[in-house]
Structure 1
């Protein structure tokens, strides 16, 4: 009880201190919906039905739970980010909310059947409220990365307390199970990674170009230059930046590189008939992966992003080239056969190689998860 009171007082203090920053961030497009909803409860009422409550953070986790939530007629879904919210709204059986900041949960949170939290969303107040007001609390797809584990262990006393409010933990791997137990988790089982059980739907069919099509997906600052400099002659290179606010910046890089090397360039709305093409709209990666000859997966050639989901590429059995900085995605890469993880200096060489197609080795145990959810 003392820890809970102290935690709440700290959350209250942080909220007061952060108010000027929060107010400033509400004017940025990236946060214009999430921050007012989470920190000021604007247009963010409590759920009005005592259903199963799923909580995810962002786009990837919200996509990952699709094969689970499609088994229910109606569910409640809370998220943290705008991208998670937009993905959640696509599910016709989901009542979607932004999860309020911890400070507001005692007043906002209503009874539910089972609270199902995905991956590492370890919010103490959320679990406390759910333990009191719901029939069961469940953490699924739980993982602790190599990089994060030492940091978690420094606060083991806190996580040991938090896990008192978690009834069942379903870990991604045996390694994750051991780490979670070391942090104080009880009733831990291995159910695999649910991201490997996701199916990906093509929303638009692009005609396959006659030239080799290389798709660079989810790129970050510093990666576009590397990829452009490794450009393979007589191929079509499509670049898809991770963040929409960088579209114009990346297009200028493409324009400059193309002019210097006498290449044609354009944007995706003009078709796949240029040497280098920018995708400046969301939701096209899956469509492009489905027809790619090779895929360069961004977020892995710089040391601060941690990589991105390789299963989207392996689902379509496409050759994959990734950088070595994949510390956030190691469990997913372990599920993919024939992924090429390389040094940055080898990118041009690998784009000119014949590469084996990828495939997914193991899939998450959806039946085990559904059995634990139902009460």
Structure 2
């Protein structure tokens, strides 16, 4: 019953979704491209690939170590990586373009998902994080495609919502299609089982975010960039993955920090490319001396703020930073962004209070002392002031959070062990 109702709802919604893409494409042209893939069409000629779905940039980054491991273990098997957003697609091409075919996941209508599975004929489907699309999952299940959910999590609040009768039936049907669910925490494993995952399917693998590869040459590259910027003796604050209206608050904090630390350099890395020009305008309206990364503007002693309006460089700037702020966290609605990334590179950081997606990693990182959850911008300023006033403490705290990340590694190996029985044995076996 629910499948028929959901299928009808997605068919009726399709014109509105396509209209939304067309409207959004006025400002972000990439939303108007590759529509055939959105409808489950287009040429993807692969031989029963291992299919990995990573919805957007965060999931693509998370999948990096997994893709590398699968390429190493199964060089005979082609890989397909699907995403849902243009930024996710661009990041996937940048990271995996020479290792995998990159495409959009089809919209979750019965027809699009059926065409997609029929064209791709995957030997294994791996969903990164809790990406549950009913029509797609059912279409894969009907063809006998083994499915896995990795780095899976479900919050207590979400579990309560999923327990409602109609949703519960749909969720149980979807979870029953998975041959392996790798849960990020024991509590998540318990919730998946209570929501209907089959016995023996769920395993606690740990959080893959801790297992992201760290480029040990990144600090050397960052030191060189600081010399190029004439910033060897300047403290650097990186504000990463920012959203509106966070930049307004951060610029106010920056102005106050400048009174104590007049040489402080702020590096702002907005989360979404379509906002680059808006953030540049906001900075210029405050009469700050701005350098834009995309324009290769010169950075020198007179520069106040660097705007990183490029993609894929955030790890470099975490390595360059003395202290960092992780955005999407000062106002409700976003849920925060990757707090393990700065920790893994030994950068002490502060984040706002709205971090529902990251509470569990933050529990251990804040205990280490190199991560702080600030309830508001005033508290954020206080934390940054303390670190900037005592660089030795900032260095010590950065090493402490990196050590915490190192202790939590191992999820990749456990995930691969869970996937091992699902991986095709050779190229002749679909």
Q: CA deviation at 1:300?
A: 0.7
Of 177, 183, 199, 2:189 maps to 177
Q: CA deviation at 1:26?
A: 4.2
| Greater mean deviation of Cα atoms: 305-314 or 103-112 | 103-112
| CA–CA distance in structure 1, aligned partners of residues 16 and 381 of structure 2 | 49
Q: CA deviation at 1:17?
A: 5.1
Q: CA deviation at 1:7?
A: 2.8
Of 264, 270, 280, 2:309 maps to 280
Q: CA deviation at 1:22?
A: 4.3
Q: Structure 1: give runs of 5+ residues left out of the alignment.
A: none
The number of residue pairs the alignment matches comes to 369
- Secondary structure in 1 aligned to 2:310? coil
Contact persistence 1:308–1:326 (CA under 8 A): yes
Change (3 A) 1:340 1:19: closer
1:166 aligns with 2:178: yes
Contact persistence 1:321–1:340 (CA under 8 A): yes
Q: CA deviation at 1:47?
A: 4.9
Equivalent residues in 2 for 1:335-354, closer than 5 Å: 335-336=364-365, 337-338=368-369, 339-344=371-376, 345-354=378-387
Encode CA deviations 1:88-128: one digit per residue, 9 max, x unaligned. Answer: 22312211211111221112213222211111110122222
1:191 aligns with 2:205: yes
Encode CA deviations 1:18-66: one digit per residue, 9 max, x unaligned. Answer: 4544443444416525672444456x33453102111110111112112
Of 44, 49, 65, 1:51 maps to 49
Of 249, 255, 265, 1:226 maps to 249
Q: CA deviation at 1:333?
A: 2.2
Aligned residue for 2:390? none
Task: State TM-score, norm by structure 1.
Answer: 0.90
Equivalent residues in 2 for 1:1-375, closer than 5 Å: 2-16=1-15, 18-29=17-28, 31-33=30-32, 36-41=35-40, 44-71=42-69, 72=71, 73=75, 74-89=78-93, 90-91=95-96, 92-103=98-109, 104-109=112-117, 110-154=120-164, 155-186=167-198, 187-201=201-215, 202=218, 205=222, 206-208=225-227, 209=231, 210-231=233-254, 232-233=257-258, 234=262, 235-257=264-286, 259=287, 264-268=289-293, 269-273=296-300, 274-336=303-365, 337-338=368-369, 339-344=371-376, 345-354=378-387, 355=394, 356-357=397-398, 358-359=401-402, 360=405, 361-374=407-420, 375=422
| CA–CA distance in structure 2, aligned partners of residues 255 and 21 of structure 1 | 31
Contact persistence 2:128–2:150 (CA under 8 A): yes
- Secondary structure in 2 aligned to 1:353? helix
Q: CA deviation at 1:229?
A: 1.3
Contact persistence 1:119–1:142 (CA under 8 A): yes
| CA–CA distance in structure 2, aligned partners of residues 371 and 94 of structure 1 | 22
Q: CA deviation at 1:364?
A: 4.4
| Greater mean deviation of Cα atoms: 81-90 or 292-301 | 81-90
- Secondary structure in 2 aligned to 1:116? strand
Task: State TM-score, norm by structure 2.
Answer: 0.79
| CA–CA distance in structure 1, aligned partners of residues 161 and 299 of structure 2 | 45
Q: CA deviation at 1:304?
A: 1.3
Q: Which has the higher strand share?
A: 1
Q: Which has the higher helix share?
A: 2
> What RMSD over aligned residues (CA atoms) do the two structures have, in Å?
2.3
